[in-house]
């Protein structure tokens, strides 16, 4: 009764959150996708999701099939990967750089899994903080760059990994801790702690403070997330940070995370790849593994709409 395509379409619907977007991801018409779901539901004798709900609300039967999809599709990709290796094309190079201080938390498990699956691929990882990685990617010195700041460059494709919320970390006893959300004016008398990167690469400046023409009282930098959290917890400043990196500390009551703006400040993390490498089997597998690992390990991330 069940086919792999059914699991893939259910998985796509959960990520896309609408039939229209799911159809686009699967390169189908909305009519064809609706027909596929109707046919499957008639076979099963049960509805799989509630129509005209946003976000999509799955029935118990739909949730059970999603559990099967989560267990089966990675195994299927693993088998396809092994077959691709047998067919050749297993050797290659994957030199990457990271423009995100917080990304090591999920990227290292991705790299470990990839290394086991593709032992013949030459793998190298560098920090992109001391040089400009995107121009290096365009020159061919690198093969992939993890970034939240896409720049239009010839021959470079940006593959969205996930959407995340940027938040503000404050001490538990901080006056801002009781506010429902933070507005730019709240930072006028605050010391803002950031990673040591240019302002034009920090969302809290480019998309929160600068549009309101607000400058914090002082700016302090730190290389290490744990050090930034210690400074925040001791009342030495406040800190902008992705939700997934902050959650490790806020969930234990070490600091509080506050939303930036009433509706929140959201950004997307990308894998920048040279376009001519997108079809390499090991590159496709790395991107899929990176997405799977991030959704499995990070709190507060979502599929890119």
CA distances from 274 to 16, 60, 270, 283, 297 (A): 25, 42, 13, 10, 27
Task: Tell me whether strands 218-221 and 265-274 are parallel, antiparallel or unpaired.
Answer: unpaired
**What whole-number distance in Å separates Cα of residue 133 and Cα of residue 218?**
29
Count of C-beta atoms within a 10 Å radius of residue 298: 20
Among 30, 77, 89, which residue's Cα sits nearest to residue 292? 77
Q: Which residues pair with 122 in a beta bridge?
A: 93
**What whole-number distance in Å separates Cα of residue 166 and Cα of residue 207?**
10
Under a CB-based contact definition with an 8 Å cutoff, are residues 163 and 304 in contact?
yes
**What whole-number distance in Å separates Cα of residue 50 and Cα of residue 29?**
20
Under a CB-based contact definition with an 8 Å cutoff, are residues 289 and 114 in contact?
yes
**What whole-number distance in Å separates Cα of residue 100 and Cα of residue 212?**
25
Count of C-beta atoms within a 10 Å radius of residue 84: 17
Count of C-beta atoms within a 10 Å radius of residue 154: 6
Please give the average per-residue pLDDT across 266-290, as a whole number.
91
79-89 pLDDT tens trace? 887 777 656 66
% of the chain surpassing 90 pLDDT: 43
pLDDT at 182: 97
235-259 pLDDT tens trace? 999 999 999 889 989 999 999 999 9
CA distances from 284 to 23, 161, 296 (A): 21, 12, 18
Please name the residue ranges forming H helices in 125-279. 133-139, 203, 225-233, 243-250
Within its chain, how far is the Cα of 120 from the centroid? 27
* Total number of residues shown for the chain: 305
pLDDT at 90: 65
The angle, 0 to 180 degrees and rounded to 10, between the axes of the packed helices 60-86 and 281-297 is 150
**In this predicted structure, which of 105-119, 152-166, 183-197, 269-283 has the lowest mean pLDDT?**
105-119
Please give the average per-residue pLDDT across 64-80, as a whole number.
89
Higher pLDDT, 239 or 15: 239
Split at pLDDT 50, 70, 90, the class of 116 is confident
Take residue 268 and report the two structure tokens written for it: 């997307």
Among 33, 70, 69, 65, which residue's Cα sits nearest to residue 51? 33
Given a cut of 70, is residue 121 above it in pLDDT?
A: yes
Under a CB-based contact definition with an 8 Å cutoff, are residues 65 and 71 in contact?
no
DSSP state of 275: G
Under a CB-based contact definition with an 8 Å cutoff, are residues 271 and 288 in contact?
no
């Amino acid at each position: 009764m069940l086919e792999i395509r059914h699991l893939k379409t259910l998985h796509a619907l959960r990520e896309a959150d609408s039939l229209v977007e799911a159809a686009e991801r699967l390169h189908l018409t909305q009519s064809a996708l609706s027909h596929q779901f109707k046919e499957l539901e008639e076979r099963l004798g049960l509805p799989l999701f509630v129509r005209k709900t946003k976000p999509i609300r799955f029935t118990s039967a739909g949730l059970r099939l999603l559990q099967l999809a989560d267990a089966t599709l990675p195994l299927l990709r693993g088998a396809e990967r092994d077959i691709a290796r047998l067919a050749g094309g297993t050797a290659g190079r994957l030199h990457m750089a990271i423009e995100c201080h917080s990304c090591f938390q999920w990227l290292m498990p991705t790299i470990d899994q990839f290394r086991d699956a593709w032992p013949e691929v030459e793998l190298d990882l560098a920090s992109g903080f001391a040089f400009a990685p995107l121009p290096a990617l365009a020159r061919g010195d690198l093969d992939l760059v993890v970034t939240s700041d896409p720049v239009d460059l010839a021959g470079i494709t940006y593959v969205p990994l996930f959407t995340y919320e940027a938040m503000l970390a404050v001490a538990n006893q901080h006056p801002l801790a009781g506010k429902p959300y933070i507005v730019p004016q709240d930072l006028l008398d605050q010391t803002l702690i950031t990673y040591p990167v240019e302002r034009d690469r920090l969302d809290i400046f480019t998309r929160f403070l600068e549009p309101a023409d607000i400058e914090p009282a002082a700016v302090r930098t730190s290389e290490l997330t744990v050090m930034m959290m210690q400074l925040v917890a001791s009342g030495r400043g406040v800190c902008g940070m992705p939700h997934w990196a902050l959650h490790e500390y806020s969930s234990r009551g070490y600091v509080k995370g506050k939303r930036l703006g009433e509706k929140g400040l959201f950004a997307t993390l990308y894998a920048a790849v040279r376009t001519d490498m997108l079809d390499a089997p090991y590159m496709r597998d790395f991107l899929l593994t990176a997405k799977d690992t991030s959704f499995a390990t990070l709190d507060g991330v979502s599929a890119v709409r």
